[in-house]
Amino acid sequence: MEIIPVESAKKPKRLTSIVWNHFERVRKAEICYAVCVHCHKKLSGSSNSGTTHLRNHLMRCLKRSNFDVSQLLSAKRRKKDNIVGVDSINGDEAQRKDDYIQPGIIKFDQDPKKDELVTIASGKFDHDCSRYHLARMIILHGYPFTMVDDVGFKVFVKNLQPSFEVVPNNNVEQFCMEIYRKEKHQVYEMLNSSHGRINLSVEMWSSPENVEYLCLTAHYIDEDWKLQKKILNFVTLDSTHTEDLLSEVVIKCLMDWDIDSKLFALTFDDCSSDDDIVLRIKDRISQNRPLLVHGRLFDIRSAAHLLNSVVQDVLEAMREVIQNIRGSFKHVRSSQVTQGKFNEIVQQVGINSQRRLILDFPVQWKSTYLMLETALEYRGAFSFLQEHDPSYTSALTDTEWERTRFVTVYLKLLVEITNVFCGNKCPTASIYFPEICDVHIQLIEWCKSQDEFLSSIALKMKAKFDKYWSKCSLALAVAAILDPRFKMKLVEYYYSQIYGSTALDRIKEVSDGLKELFDAYSICSTMVDQGSALPGSSLPSTSTDSRDRLKGFDKFLYETSQSQNMISDLDKYLEEPVFPRNCDFKILNWWKVHTPRYPILSMMARDVLGTPMSTVAPESAFNAGGRLLDECRSSLNPDIREALVCTQDWLRVELKDDNSLPSHSARPIPSARLILAE
């Protein structure tokens, strides 16, 4: 290889481009190369090749240092055909049709290999892969499709990779749909290959335009004993939808995903949902497969929504008092004189609170609780202010202050329990029983209040709670029993406080329901051993063959063979001592380790513990307005909207930090805050 000095070449062509400051021209045989002085990469150095490829390499070269890229860009901008700048880009300009790959032709690989990714180090550029990751980014972060038409985005991409041709937003929609179809197939295979049953939660969403949506989410524990959650459908409801339509929508989605025969429980977000909806779904499901424990574990209502609902009853009853407290906070900050006077009163009455007077966000009921709690600490100062400030018209009476104190105790308990529900990283069904029982016990006590106003609030709360308890108490208790730290002891402990003299009868009802459920799984286990159970199912199907004269034989075989077994999984589990309680206990890890010891009971535990007893997302735990879809997504057509919501949910599990991604629910609009200066 020979380096050709400029002065020794015959009739040399002057190398005028600035890029030659970073390349050496090298001849090998009859071929000329341009060798990067930074990374020593060889590129074509022929005079016919131009310098565009050299300039592009320099902008990607990792070894390059102390080099002003703007020199290359400014040199390139001098060429009229290659101008890149804000002034020269028209966001509405027509794009040449041949510049784009038609979305119908593009097929993304299941998993792009590392060596196929666009990397600066490799210098390899793949348009298809780049467009895939652009669409994936839009899905993950909820960006609008129109961002690809923005001038700033075009300039950024062109400067980053001049070879990349930005596609119009309607093509990006197609790329996103392609990703959705690929991911949907993977989720379908995952659900149908699972050996356990599937739980389904049904949530109602809305939009700023008052459009309603139905969000269906599958919950299950996989083969590695990990709790999984996948949004399956996000259906836009017609404004004229009826209760019949809602049940049909749920049934159709179950059939489309082919999980109707694997459904264990159905969780609704509203504890007051029409029971007819559930009955219709029950009837359709039970046509092909019997419901467990006569369907007593099938109909579940969200615990967090129950708490949210009873809180709204409390706040509505205290509406006038809360308005006066807000007025008191506003009055203190109405002027510097009033604020100074209040600060003096605080010192005079000996209040040492460090809390600041902050108005609540009405849509976030936890903030209302904090406002009431703060007001109670400054009760003495507000009472004193009433006596010395005639303009203060929002004062509370002594009776109102006492009611506020009692109501704040109610709200404090509900805040603490909601934090438990939404702060648990692995919310298995077993965590809910003790918390709900605490609410039950407190409601019984609150109903005994001598204050007619307070007792009426408590009675209204308990009426709503009792409806929830009648539906969910068995499921809550069974899940708690399957926690080895509690077993039957926790049920006995709480039921003795809740039911008193009738506790033994109630405990027996739970014990009988638990045994009935275990027997069903034992029969299924017998059929699996005989090869007669359906693949991937937890229970045998109901035969429709009229010639089958042995429909009850499997149950008879199981019942008559019980005497041959020394002890069942369930009996062995319940008779052994409870596991010590500690903060590091992970129930799913325990069952994973003990599956060989309790093969049948562990199969039952997987389905029970995977039941979603609450459906509220952490960011919406204290939101009184429900789940709200953002304006960007609500403006799309239903198919694209469903694809984006579902695919974002499926893709985000790949990232370690899910909190870095926004959900589709809108956040409450902040209200003004009034702060008491220290």
For the chain, the structural domain boundaries read 18-64, 126-289+629-657, 304-506
Please give the pLDDT value at position 86: 40
Q: What is the DSSP string of 605-670?
A: HHHHHTS-S----GGGTTBTT-EEB-HHHHTS-HHHHHHHHHHHHHHHTTSS-GGGS--SBPPPPP
- CA–CA distance from 306 to each of 302, 413, 494, 518, 547 (Å)? 6, 14, 20, 29, 48
pLDDT confidence of 560, banded at 50, 70, 90?
low
Residue pLDDT, tens place only, 454-495: 999 999 999 999 999 999 999 999 999 999 999 999 999 999
Beta carbons within 10 angstroms of residue 183's beta carbon: 19
pLDDT confidence of 527, banded at 50, 70, 90?
low
Count of residues for the chain? 678
* 652, pLDDT greater than 70: yes
Kindly state the tokens that stand for 13: 């062509």
Residue pLDDT, tens place only, 94-112: 343 334 334 443 444 445 4
Enter the pTM of the model: 0.75
pLDDT confidence of 550, banded at 50, 70, 90?
low
* 518, pLDDT greater than 50: yes
Residue pLDDT, tens place only, 51-87: 888 877 877 775 664 444 444 444 444 444 444 444 4
Residue 611 CB partners (closer than 8 Å, separation 6+): 199, 219, 264, 265, 267, 297, 300, 429, 475, 479
Report which of 411, 435, 438, 447 is spatially closest to residue 498, judged by C-alpha positions.
Answer: 438
Amino acid letter, 669: I
User: Region 222-231: what's the mean pLDDT?
Assistant: 94
Kindly state the tokens that stand for 356: 């600041």
* 557, pLDDT greater than 90: no
Stretch among 104-118, 285-299, 303-317 having the lowest mean pLDDT = 104-118
pLDDT confidence of 521, banded at 50, 70, 90?
very high
Q: Are 298 and 282 in contact (CB under 8 A)?
A: yes
Residue pLDDT, tens place only, 493-512: 999 999 999 999 999 999 99
Highest mean pLDDT among 100-104, 345-349, 539-543, 655-659: 345-349
* 396, pLDDT greater than 90: yes
- Name the maximum alpha-carbon separation found in the chain: 112
pLDDT confidence of 123, banded at 50, 70, 90?
low
* 546, pLDDT greater than 90: no
The percentage of the chain sitting over the pLDDT mark of 90, rounded to a whole number, equals 50
Residue pLDDT, tens place only, 564-594: 555 789 999 999 999 999 878 999 999 999 9
